[in-house]
Chain A
Amino acid sequence: MMSENLLDIKNLRLSFFTPAGEVKALNDVSIKLEEGDVLGIVGESGSGKSVTAYSVMGLTAYPGRIVDGTIDFNGHKINDMSENDMRKIRGNEVSIIFQDPMTSLNPVYTIGNQIMEVILLHTNKTKKEATERAIELLRLVGINEPEKRLKQYPHELSGGMRQRVMIAIALACEPKLLIADEPTTALDVTIQAQILELMIELKNKIGMSIIMITHDLGIVANMCKKIAVMYAGKIVEYGSTDEIFYNPRHEYTKGLLRSIPKLTEKEHKKLVPIEGTPVDMLNPPAGCPFAPRCENCMKICMKQMPDYTVVTEGHYSACWLLQKEAVMQGGGRS
């Protein structure tokens, strides 16, 4: 099926050129997204998940630069576009909500001002129409007394409400793609659930795609159809939610799943963390980046980066273990 992909990232390499050296943040990342998809990108801090998402919007912070690869979004060639053209699609065709709602809103301007700002920027609405739209959006995200809220300042709202405002701002121009960068990490657990529910509800109403970035597997289980597991700037495993959860084929993914405490476990069972520390991205190793922390590490894992192996249709993983059988049997199918 060759439907027009909403988002097509091909072999993206991105590095930060710092005084200390070149930090290779993304090493050959590829992602495809169709309209209506909900993709979860899972990984720990420094894995490159946020960097990937930001690059779609051209928000890569200085001194970062795309070194290789292409990004196609909604018919635009992102990596070729001028800053001027990028501005037209930011907040308009693709939006993003950030992790910390406390600091993501400008403290000296009212909520209304900040919502209407993006409406007036990308549409031809009059101020009055924009105000009405802002009220409508606030209602949509579940904020009561929207007229009153318009005049309030960010510090007058709770964390959950602020995040709803961020969602309202993000959805104001009905984008095709919403990127959510750990939207609930800074919130209480109960609020977390509400926000996630809201996002699913809105996605169904408006019909947009979502990329959900998180380190929390629990969230992706509920929301996402597909999951990409990232480690050290690479996608190490990719597949549908069911496949990832019930048939994980990368040691890192397995480690992540193991470390989730389960209610059904017997008491006194120890928590199982993944040993070791994350990779130094200034000097990434030649082989698989997860090697030092992998229980089943083999000699080849330290020497060479594994290629992707297809597990089932739409599910692949980059791990030498999957090649082991084939090679042990002397060059069988791969």
Chain B
Amino acid sequence: MLKYVIKRVLLSIVTLWLVSTITFTLMYLVPGGPFLSEKAPSAATLKAMNAKYGLDQPKIVQYKNYMVKAFFQGDLGPSLKQRGRTVNQIISRGFPVSARIGGLAILIALLIGIPLGSIAALNRGKWIDNVIIVFSTFGIAVPSFVVSVVLMVVLSVKLDLLPTYGLATPLHYIMPVLALSFYPASYISRLMRSSMLEVLGQDYMRTAKAKGLTQYVILFKHALRNAILPVVTYLGPLLAYTLTGSFIVEKIFTIPGLGSAFISSITDRDYPLIMGTTIFLAALIIVMNMLVDIAYKVIDPRIKLK
């Protein structure tokens, strides 16, 4: 077990290093540089900016400086466009907001998806199964921006039930969280259904019934524990989806989270911010994937001792 954890940690570090290096290479070594691609500033301004941001040093030195600062001091540098603010500040302002919405969305996706999928599997072929299948098939086909916009149009514009933008009150959370959880809830529901169907056909389910256990125990003790394993595996990609999905939701509902900061940084060409956010998000995804993989190994005893 320990061996596996170490192996995973090492792999994650390698990947993170790889991603940051790729990012750095792309950002700083591509000809044209971050400043030149804009309207060409005067030579003097250029010199001053280069000096301030350390861009006149050899690339390798820049690379080393950045990596050292980023990973050992946690300093992702100053923002280029938002004068006076550091990337760290921007991230720490925006991330908690995104995390709240994302976290709620994941929670709701699990709370809806797992029961729905199980119910569908238990009532296979009956009308409720068909309804759930249809619902979840639609859910994975409709992109999140479509859902967001439809929700906004219907609930906010036409019916005036919910506020359109911002996050002032708990009511404000409803639409963005719903929009973000739509796809994962459908996906988890389908995943749970097929997993549960497979588990229900297993021999040990027959053994459980032969022991005289009640339906309740058979379902929650024997079936669920086995059926939920694929869903645990999905948690990693789920997180990555939620992070990237938040870009859209935050843009549409005008939410000041990390996602919209990232999108703006792209249009603004704020390279340090782009880089810092990318590395931050990448690190988050990589670490969460690693934790989920380790958790899975813990939960499934078959793999524990390999």
Contact = CB atoms under 8 A, between A and B. Distances in A.
Do the two chains touch directly in the complex (Cβ atoms below 8 Å apart)? yes
Interface of A: 57, 59, 86-92, 95-96, 98, 100, 103-109, 117-118, 121-122, 153, 155-156, 166, 169
B225 A100 contact: no
Given A108-B225, A108-B301, A153-B302, A103 B210 contact: no
Contacts of A118: 211-212
A98 B211 contact: no
Interface residues of B, number: 20
B214 to A, nearest CB: 6
Nearest to B305: A156
A122 B203 contact: no
B214 A87 contact: yes
A107 B7 CA distance: 26
Contact of B204 (A106, A121, A153): A106
B222 interface: yes
B202 interface: yes
Given A108-B226, A108-B301, A153-B302, A103 B204 contact: yes
A169 B226 contact: no
Given A107-B226, A108-B226, A108-B301, A91 B212 contact: yes
B206 interface: yes
Interface string B198-241: 00001110111111111000000010011000000000000000
B160 interface: no
Interface of B: 202-204, 206-214, 222, 225-226, 299-302, 305
A87 B301 contact: no
B206 A90 contact: no
A109 B301 CA distance: 8
Contacts of A90: 209-212
A98 B226 CA distance: 20
B210 to A, nearest CB: 5
A121 B222 contact: no
A57 B204 contact: no
A153 B204 CA distance: 14
A109 B209 CA distance: 16
A95 B203 CA distance: 15
A106 B226 contact: yes
Q: Which 4 A-B pairs have the closest CB atoms?
A: A90-B212, A91-B211, A103-B203, A91-B212
A107 B225 CA distance: 10
A124 to B, nearest CB: 15
Contact of B213 (A89, A95, A108, A117): A117
A31 to B, nearest CB: 19
B211 A106 contact: no
B207 A104 contact: yes
Given A87-B214, A104-B207, A153-B302, 14 more contacts: A87-B212, A90-B211, A91-B211, A98-B206, A100-B203, A103-B204, A104-B203, A107-B204, A107-B300, A107-B302, A109-B225, A153-B301, A155-B301, A155-B302
